[in-house]
Chains A and B, each alone.
Chain A
């Protein structure tokens, strides 16, 4: 019901929205919860386990009950707290966790089964018979588990992430937060003020009162106006600080577009990483419910929430309100309701010495012991001494005192301290370096306390920053906080602690009885605090009940650990921008467009996109294209873009010495104009990478790495250089991106290359020379990864596309053409050349038959470890070739024919395979125990995954031109 003249909503701006298929009206400034309550909608959801009717409990992000699905054009978001969702024109929401309608939820039958669904029900019920597990229990549990549902469609929503930096981060904009921000802001500090709600002011917007000589609302408005005008203050509304991390880093979730109709490019949420030199936690406190029988009916709400709905939204959630509270502060709710013309049926105060002077009936020393009303509250039972009083009421405002919002102070393993005075946990000072808790978050519950502590924290930060400021603290209410702790009212029925997960006091007691006495065990046994609200409303009460049941104090019982995030953060926001192509950078070759023009499917090679094959008309499968491309290299000439290989330019008088140190073989003796294959080890003796290095000048080398290991090798070279020989005359830099480089291979390769050069060169095998191509300076290498006479032609990257298109065009006139990764792979397997499929991080130089490349004449990285026992010898699996007449697979394992196939009899495994059009057989490379001594033997190749069982011949891995005559032609 809406009350005239109350609230901060904009009554000139009506908003239409829809809930469970029905249209409603609210105002700008309403939340879904306030607008539904204004429309007298009390039933908004069903509880998780028993499917009990549930209404709005709170007015904040801690809401456990009013969880709804918001339906957008491209997505459906479950578990949206109606208390946080602002209404906007066209908002569509629906209730969740029900079977049938919200009023007649068929799963409400669970409530009648409650005696069988107590704590640990899963563990006890689904134990046996074992055969029921997969067929019956699992589907049953899966169906019942989880809250809300998704659209089942791809989420096309936009999400954003961002970084921010400041001197002082103020978390919360109640009296303490505003005072801290004002103090730091006036001092000229760089301030970020985060407020979870859309409006600044915190409880001052709900509780009223005066600050200095101004009504609280006016004071808030004046402070906010001043802060907005300060260029050094950044106000972030609708932003929840969700986590505290090392070295002043905080996570924060901003609701950017969730309160507006969806619009292209408008982020739904933004996840901020904020780095702050100082932080002030002014997050306030959370009011706690009291457990009594049937305390979960719609209409039973937190007293502070009733106050918020009245003063901030102009809504009263009932016509006859009752108040059940154990502090003087909560009395204000009743008084304000009466002042607004609402009937307050009674105040029930469990404190025997509490005042009974109010303008309504007051029962002191009394407790609420029960309630009635199927889909909403209609009455309560109050016990006063031996007497039970029946009171008619449709809204019960309850308060069991306050819990400071200490969560962030615990995110770095800090444990809170139990305060007997407040009957609450308060932050341990210094638990998060640089963060100070103030106001209600630190247990200072009066407005005066909030202003003073907020000011002090602001001042402390300002002084630490070497600034000065004088900001007077205005006068404000300083009522003492005096309560009688009341967690649960004695009684026989079910009294709820965790409303979301349906955990009652009985469940906690049962857990204790059954031996789950540790708070961590009780939590997991009962699921207490494991719902979306993470126990914000219930954890402290639950452990008080546990403490009582186990005969320990609360401090001794201790709490569970608060971890980030404080409120739920969508994965989409945290990983904003990372969807689909945004997952990792894409690297494109200069030949990319040409390859796509020719219909080549592109495949990922690390971050690069490379052509898989170049289909010709009439080719139905990739294999047909691949076989043709292999043949054209073997018989004419093929062109492939090999620019992805890492290229490192190394210069200096000690360049050769450096290469000698990082390669197993010697490069200082390499003549200028020549290229050498090099093997690089890790310090633990395993192979890191291989590639060719060219000597371009006396003090100038060009190293080539594999595509896969380019970054790895750079990091390794940097380490070796900086750790062991920083004083050497050597510097190096990546030039991978500077050169476009194309392999030209085949019997006609020389003719094709020479057709490009201004001055043809006659390079020997493993030679390098500078060349001029159409007026451009390039480099020509005579190296081969195919086994044919091969060249690599390099030009500055800007000319890459033009050169590639031209090379391919000319190759085609010679019976050749482009070849892709599939053919490249076949060509190198036929020639026994290894890639990272073979040097996968567990092989030694010995394993790949290159132990002779580890020079005895000099030290190198990995040399000592490579000589250790176990790193070489016949017991190791060694590189071999495999030949078969049936398809074989990489990943298959090798066995002696006739032996059983299991782990102990495993003789090795296969790393690369292909159909070889050149040899006319299936070829593979793999590692076989003592393989080099077993050439000519037969092995059994087994791949259970693909159902292969094939006899292979063990061969020399070089199938094609083992003498290398073609290479050197």
Chain B
């Protein structure tokens, strides 16, 4: 019998440059929950066991290590826990499809300003928000978990490119050395 060794795309690497730190994160299981027309009630009932409700657009809800992140119309990703039995929704495992990077530190928001065509400063993008947008040419989900803490979810196959782009932005920002940006 074969012994299959599991590997993440970036093998858990991390990097600190200037005032920001980039790292590959393990967020556990990721399950897409896409509600069928008329299925909202049944889904709400199923999610009750986790104490979660479907999040509003561009936001996430969290409870006891279980996180539900809005990802589209009537759709959310359940992260960190196994998905309970859900009626009324298409449930699809997405765990292996995504690489999640954490970007933390005082410089994080300025690093992202190099790559993301959105205002991610705190007033416009407060803690608890989650958006689908771009990281340069890659489609990503960006979560704000703290004033200086972001998670960036991108396609696993593009993880090295995402890492490279973020690292380059961190390096350039650090090289500016004390200038305001």
The winner among B3, B36, B157 for most chain A CB atoms within 10 A is B157
Main secondary structure of the interface of A (DSSP, over half): mixed
B156 CB contact (under 8 Å) in A163, A236, A577, A797: A797
Instruction: Give, as a whole number of angstroms, the nearest-CB distance from B24 to chain A.
Output: 12
In the assembled complex, which residues on chain B have CB atoms less than 8 Å from the CB atom of A801? 5, 7
Q: Any chain A CB within 8 A of the CB of B136?
A: yes
User: In the complex the two chains form, is A776's CB within 8 Å of B160's CB?
Assistant: no
> Which of A420-428, A668-676, A724-732 lies at the interface with chain B?
A724-732
Question: Among the listed A165, A585, A587, which residue makes an inter-chain contact with B121, where contact means beta carbons less than 8 Å apart?
Answer: A165
For B4, B116, B172, the residue with the greatest tally of chain A CB atoms inside 10 Å of its CB is B4
Which residues of B sit under 8 angstroms from A266, Cβ to Cβ?
172, 175-177
Cβ 8 A contact of B96, one of A264, A585, A756, A797: A797
Q: Which of A607, A729, A799 contacts B6 (CB 8 A)?
A: A799
Which chain B residues border A795 with CB–CB below 8 Å? 4
- With both beta carbons as reference points, the residue of chain B lying nearest to A653 in the complex is identified as B36
Tell me whether B172 and A733 are in contact (CB under 8 A). no
Most chain B CB atoms below 10 A, which of A236, A587, A734, A795: A587
Contact A737 B97 (CB under 8 A): yes
B-facing residues in A684-704 (Cβ within 8 Å): none
Q: Are B90 and A774 in contact (CB under 8 A)?
A: no
Closest partner residue, chain A, to B168 (CB atom): A577
The one of B3, B7, B113, B158 in contact with A774, judged by C-beta atoms closer than 8 angstroms, is B3
Q: A802 near B96 (CB under 8 angstroms)?
A: no
A608 and B157 contact, CB distance less than 8 A = yes
Q: Which residues of A contact B165 (CB under 8 A)?
A: 577, 582
A813 CB–B CB distance under 8 Å: no
B119 touches A737 (CB 8 A): no
Contact B97 A588 (CB under 8 A): no
Interface residues of A in 253-269 (CB under 8 A from B): 256-257, 263-267
Set A273, A585, A773, A775: member contacting B138, Cβ < 8 A: A585
Alpha-carbon separation in the docked complex, A885 to B96 (Å): 48
Q: Number of residue pairs across A and B with beta carbons under 8 Å?
A: 157
**Inter-subunit contact B155/A161 (CB<8 Å):** no
CB-CB < 8 A to A729: which residues of B?
A: 36-37
CB-based contact B118/A731 at 8 Å: no
0/1 interface trace, chain B 106-139, chain A, CB 8 Å (1 if under): 0000000110111101011000000000001110
Point out the residues of chain B lying under 8 angstroms from A584, CB to CB.
Answer: 137
A933 sits at the interface (CB 8 A): no
Closest chain-B Cβ to A181's Cβ sits at a distance in Å of 15
Q: Given contacts A158-B172, A264-B175, A739-B96, is CB(A586)–CB(B2) below 8 Å?
A: no
Q: Are A797 and B160 in contact (CB under 8 A)?
A: no
The reply on B14 being an interface residue by CB < 8 A is no
A735 touches B97 (CB 8 A): yes
In the bound complex, residues from chain A placing their C-beta under 8 Å from that of B179 are: 256
Known: A266-B172, A649-B92, A733-B32. Is A799-B137 also a contact (CB below 8 A)? no
Q: Are B157 and A731 touching (Cβ within 8 A)?
A: no
B110 to chain A, nearest CB (A): 8
Q: A652-B36, A728-B37, A773-B2 are in contact. Are A587 and B174 (CB under 8 A)?
A: no
Question: Is A589 located at the chain interface by the 8 A CB criterion?
Answer: yes
Cβ of B60 to closest chain A Cβ, rounded Å: 18
B4 and A774 contacting across the interface, CB-CB below 8 Å: yes
**In the bound complex, how far is the Cα of B118 from the Cα of A584, in angstroms?**
20
* Minimum distance in angstroms from A204 CB to a CB of chain B: 22
Tell me the smallest distance from the CB of B29 to a CB of chain A, in Å.
Answer: 11
Q: Does A738 contact B (CB under 8 A)?
A: yes
Q: Which residues on A sit within 8 Å (CB–CB) of B7?
A: 590, 798-802
**Which residues of A sit under 8 angstroms from B58, Cβ to Cβ?**
none
In angstroms, Cα B172 to Cα A739, docked, is 35
Q: Considering the chains assembled together, what is the distance between the CA atoms of A266 and B121 in angstroms?
A: 23
**Residues in B130-178 with C-beta less than 8 Å from chain A:** 136-138, 155-158, 160-162, 164-165, 168-169, 171-172, 174-177
Q: Are B93 and A738 in contact (CB under 8 A)?
A: yes
Say yes or no: A727 contacts B113, CB within 8 Å. no
Bound complex: CA of A756 vs CA of B96, how far in Å?
Answer: 21
8 Å CB contacts to B: which residues of A227-265?
Answer: 234-236, 256-257, 263-265
> Please, which residues of chain A bring their CB within 8 A of the CB of B158?
585-587, 607
Does A875 sit at the interface, judged by CB under 8 A?
Answer: no
Query: Which range contains the number of B residues in contact with the other chain?
Result: 35 or more
Q: Are A736 and B97 in contact (CB under 8 A)?
A: yes
Provide the residues of chain B in CB contact with A739, threshold 8 Å: 96
| Residue numbers in B under 8 Å from A577 (CB-CB) | 136, 165, 168
B94 within 8 A of A: yes
- On whether the beta carbons of B8 and A587 are closer than 8 Å, the reply is no
Residues of B within 8 A of A730 (CB): 36
Find residues 586-622 in chain A having any chain B CB closer than 8 Å to their own CB: 586-590, 607-608
Chain A residues 748 to 795 lying within 8 A of chain B, measured CB to CB, are 756, 758, 773-776, 795
Which residues from A are CB-within-8-Å of B160? 586, 588
B95 touches A796 (CB 8 A): yes
Contact of A737 among B89, B113, B118, B157 (CB under 8 A): B157
A5 to B66, CA, bound (A): 69
* In the bound complex, CA of A101 to CA of B116 (Å): 48
> Contact between A774 and B37 (Cβ–Cβ < 8 Å)?
no
Q: Are A758's CB and B93's CB within 8 A?
A: no
A273 close to B117 (CB less than 8 A): yes
A803 part of interface (Cβ distance < 8 Å): yes
Known contacts A158-B172, A733-B90; A776/B4 CB under 8 A: yes
Asked whether B69 is an interface residue with its Cβ less than 8 Å from the other chain, the reply is: no
When the two chains form their complex, are residues A735 and B92 in contact, meaning their CB atoms are under 8 A apart? yes
Q: Does A213 contact B (CB under 8 A)?
A: no
A432 to B170, CA, bound (A): 35
Taking a contact as CB atoms closer than 8 A, the residue among A265, A607, A728, A799 that contacts B171 in the complex is: A265
Given known A-B contacts A585-B137, A585-B158, A737-B96, A802 and B175 have beta carbons under 8 A apart: no
Minimum CB–CB distance from A145 to chain B (whole Å) comes to 35
Flag if A737 contacts B2 (CB, 8 Å). no
| Residue of A649, A776, A797 with highest tally of chain B CB at under 10 A | A797
* Among candidates A726, A727, A733, A737, residue contacting B155 with C-beta atoms closer than 8 Å: A737
CB <8 Å contact, A802 and B5: yes
Within 8 A of A (CB), among B35-61: 35-37
Q: Does B79 contact A (CB under 8 A)?
A: no
B181–A737 contact, CB under 8 A? Answer: no
Nearest CB in chain B: distance from A252 CB, A: 12
Tell whether, in the assembled complex, residue B118 and residue A738 are in contact, meaning their CB atoms are under 8 Å apart: no
Asked if A660 is an interface residue, CB under 8 A from chain B, the answer is no
CA distance A756 to B3 in the complex (A): 10
Q: Which one, A164, A587, A803, contacts B157 given CB within 8 A? A: A587
**Is A651 interfacial (CB 8 A cutoff)?**
yes
Does A733 lie within 8 Å of B92, measured CB to CB? yes
Report if B34 contacts A (CB, 8 A): yes
Across the interface, which residues of B come within 8 angstroms of A773, CB to CB? 2, 4
Q: 21 A-B residue contacts at CB 8 Å?
A: A163-B113, A163-B116, A165-B124, A257-B175, A264-B175, A273-B117, A585-B161, A586-B160, A589-B157, A590-B7, A651-B90, A726-B37, A730-B36, A731-B34, A731-B90, A733-B34, A737-B156, A737-B157, A796-B93, A800-B7, A802-B2
